[in-house]
Amino acid sequence: MLEGKHIVVGVCGGIAAYKVADLVSKLCQAGALVDVVLTEHAEQFVSALTFSALSQRPVYTNLWEPTGEAAARHIALGQAADLLLIAPATANTIARLAHGLADDMLTTVALAITAPLLIAPAMESQMYQHPATQANLRLLAERGATIIAPESGRLASGEVGQGRLPETPTLLAQIRWTLGRATGDLVGRRVVVTAGGTREPIDPVRYIGNHSSGLMGFALAEEARDRGAETLVIAGAVSAPMPPGVEVIRVETTLELRDATLAALADADALVMAAAVADYRVEHPAAHKIKKGSAEENGDGSLTLRLTQNPDILAEAQALAEANGLTGLTRVGFAAETHDVERNAAAKLRRKGLHLLVANDVSQPASGFGVSTNQVSLFYADGRVERLPLLPKTEVARIIWDRLAPLLSERSADKVKR
């Protein structure tokens, strides 16, 4: 997604300037062309050499340098860039940008640029909260800039408050999302991805769960987001961090996941059911913690839990679509199998009338729950099967959306209406 993108990174004189070296490194590793512009005061914190070594390109600091290179480049940079990120954005530079000043290389480039502008303020919380800074940020947002809110935590002064520059993954996610919204092949689409495992209560402290980490679902959500889709994640129990830049609804049980999913289909183009949903739930969860020797026990000290079948969410989604005579919802299922993977997967695809079924053999050590790789086969409605090698889940997600994007009908086409 970042391959060949031209990103200009503006660095100001804030204590968080050193963190941006890591960001520039990650952007370059992802295949982006990165031009770095430092303010004069940024050079008090980090050296141009650090950034030119990472980006393998000249770093611009001084509009007035005698060769005239920077002066010539400020308009060209603005025209060539796919995105300008200013991080850390100091209170001072935010004020200069808000008032259209162009007194150095960075502010001059910022005025010349037509690509999206991302601003990541980082400063002591009093400076951030100051009405002048807040008014300047509002003005910039009104003009179309995206403000990446600073995080709360321990600041350089030792105080705790809002003002920290978000970590590299959050900044990268914002960049990917912004580029996706401009040029991605899922722009205008709304997709719903379920992720993680469900928990079925036995009593107030115990549950029946599964090993799902949420990694595959989150990879699918992040890929959809980066291609420009408006993305909703319905997440059960997960151990992976929540993906930034997507809407998240948290659920616990299969019934909650069902309700949230069906409610979200009203204007969705695709439903990707990557969550590991419990087939059964405890019929009557105990209202109090079950103790040894309690009335719930059988006479011989054993305990019997009666399980009842959970609803089939994909089947209900299909019924909802059919009841409304609509074809606008692309439905994707996942099958985590331990044996007879292909036979079970093909049967599930037919039974549930899916457009695509992603099957993985979770008995393989490097594939399935809790690991960052997956070996899957894609089963299509027309009977085709595509067997993929063992790949990072991010790569599996990319391939799935490559296949799905052409399947999605226009957003203006029929949608499930409830």
Ligand X SMILES: Cc1cc2nc3c(=O)[nH]c(=O)nc-3n(C[C@H](O)[C@H](O)[C@H](O)COP(=O)(O)O)c2cc1C
> For binding to ligand X (CB under 6 A), which residues are involved?
12-16, 39, 41-42, 88, 90-93, 122-123, 127
For the beta sheet containing 146-147, the strands, ordered from the edge strand earlier in sequence to the opposite edge, are 33-38, 6-11, 83-89, 117-121, 146-147
Residue number with CB closer to ligand X (12 or 260): 12
Give the Cα-Cα-Cα angle 54, 59, 60 (nearest 5 degrees).
160
Omega of the bond leading into 88 within 30 degrees of 0 (cis)? yes
* Shortest Å, Cβ 342 to ligand X: 56
Backbone angles phi, psi at 224, to 5 degrees: -65, -45
Residue number with CB closer to ligand X (162 or 394): 162
* Shortest Å, Cβ 153 to ligand X: 13
CA–CA distance, 52 with 383 (Å, rounded to integer): 52
Burial profile 372-393: b = 16 or more Cβ within 10 angstroms, e = fewer: ebbbbbbbeeeeeeeebeebeb
CA–CA distance, 342 with 14 (Å, rounded to integer): 56
CA–CA distance, 352 with 316 (Å, rounded to integer): 9
Residue number with CB closer to ligand X (130 or 250): 130
CA–CA distance, 346 with 358 (Å, rounded to integer): 10
The active-site residue out of 62, 92, 210, 360 is: 210
Burial profile 110-131: b = 16 or more Cβ within 10 angstroms, e = fewer: bebbebbbbbbbbbbbebbeee
* Shortest Å, Cβ 414 to ligand X: 51
Residue number with CB closer to ligand X (45 or 401): 45
Residue number with CB closer to ligand X (15 or 405): 15
Residue number with CB closer to ligand X (76 or 156): 156
Q: Which residues pair with 178 in a beta bridge?
A: none
Evaluated on CA atoms 251, 253, 256, 258, the torsion sign reads positive
Joined tokens for residue 383: 């009977």
* Shortest Å, Cβ 364 to ligand X: 48
Evaluated on CA atoms 285, 288, 292, 296, the torsion sign reads negative
CA–CA distance, 83 with 60 (Å, rounded to integer): 16
Joined tokens for residue 68: 């005239």
Q: Tell me whether strands 206-208 and 200-203 are parallel, antiparallel or unpaired.
A: antiparallel
Does 210 qualify as catalytic in the annotation?
A: yes
Burial class (CB in 10 A: 0-12, 13-18, 19+), 366: exposed
* Shortest Å, Cβ 7 to ligand X: 19
Which of 22, 395, 4 is CA-nearest to residue 172?
A: 22
Report whether 196 contacts 260 (CB < 8 A).
no
Residue number with CB closer to ligand X (166 or 214): 166
User: Which sequence positions are flagged as catalytic?
Assistant: 210
